[in-house]
Structure 1
């Protein structure tokens, strides 16, 4: 007389591969953790945006010399003295009158010692229009240099902090004044990043389940 089959004795094809399952589980957990981290950063970014929106109307303060820029002083009025222009940097930008063009950023020397300073002096229509400006005292608002860091570099913690930059209130001849800083210029896209990481985690789980089903079906055949 034959014994009934043991319900715990599953076919080999139905067993989960240990190493791949652990690797996928760790990857999914990491993506979920990154999504939760982005949600936490979203709350802090909202507070920084509210503070930055009110800063342009507050009293002037000393210009920060080192990176990173404290969010509490972002867009505060300030001034710097550009001893001489070392080089020019050209970026897409917007003028105070709403027109688009090329923002000319001066890399300035401030003396024999200490770091230099960046000044967005004005907006021109052509990228190769060299401003007729060699330096001097400049008043404006505290900002940050253009951010060309990749998302993966920033999330990996390997990105260098953005250097402070002054947005000049007045432009030299031949250029239009740069648009005053606004909190709208600081994107709060952490929610989108969080959704993206959660989506990646879900896709990874679905792909792994489909792969297991295909593997089991192949072994059963």
Structure 2
């Protein structure tokens, strides 16, 4: 007489469940963090908007990192000499595309100097600009650290840049970025994390229920 075959155990898997729940909790935490970042970014945009409304001049922050209180404020520098040029694509204040002429200005015998956007040209030929007193708006410089650099702790503090109110001879005045252009996608990121958490939990429950079905 043969022994009856014992049916396999149909219990809820403990270890996989713990792993999935831990992953879901991490995704929910990331979503909550993105909501917090959304509030922080909104406060930062409000600060930038107040800065743009101010007409008084502030001392130009030559050394990075640049405090948020300086961005989008009016300032002036004395460019003794343009020691280099960094042409980049850009637009003028009427929305016409062109080449933005960014000068690396020497402001003294030593020091990092300052970046000055002296206007928009039609080609990559630098203007014949001898420097001098430049008044304009402080904005984030063209070289900003990437998300990966920030995440890995290898981000180099970004320099600021001054967009000249009056362009160099032969150029058009460059458009000044608005505080409203500051990216704030954190609500969408939060929604994505919450959606991932819900999807992972639903898929896992369905998979386990199918496995436990007689």
1:152-202, CA deviations, whole angstroms, 9 ceiling, x for partnerless residues? Answer: 444555433322111111111232111134222222222222223323333
Residue 129 of structure 2 is aligned to residue 133 of structure 1: yes
Aligned to 1:92: 89
Q: 5+ unaligned residues in a row in structure 1: which ranges? A: 1-9
Tell me the CA shift for residue 115 of structure 1: 2.1
8 Å CA contact retained: 2:145, 2:158: no
Q: 5+ unaligned residues in a row in structure 2: which ranges? A: 1-6
8 Å CA contact retained: 1:75, 1:142: yes
- After TM superposition, list the pairs within 5 Å mapping 1:67-146 onto structure 2: 67-126=64-123, 128-146=124-142
Aligned to 1:188: 184
Give the whole-Å Cα distance in 1 for the aligned partners of 2:206 and 2:127: 60
Give the whole-Å Cα distance in 2 for the aligned partners of 1:149 and 1:65: 18
TM-score, structure 2 normalization? 0.79
- After TM superposition, list the pairs within 5 Å mapping 1:141-160 onto structure 2: 141-146=137-142, 149-155=145-151, 158-160=154-156
Aligned to 1:200: 196
Give the whole-Å Cα distance in 2 for the aligned partners of 1:212 and 1:192: 30
Aligned to 2:28: 32
Q: 1:72 to 1:107 in 2, by over 3 A?
A: same
The alignment of Structure 1 onto Structure 2 pairs a total of residues equal to 207
Query: CA-atom RMSD, angstroms?
Result: 2.9
Give the whole-Å Cα distance in 2 for the aligned partners of 1:156 and 1:203: 29
Q: 1:204 to 1:136 in 2, by over 3 A?
A: farther
8 Å CA contact retained: 1:124, 1:174: yes
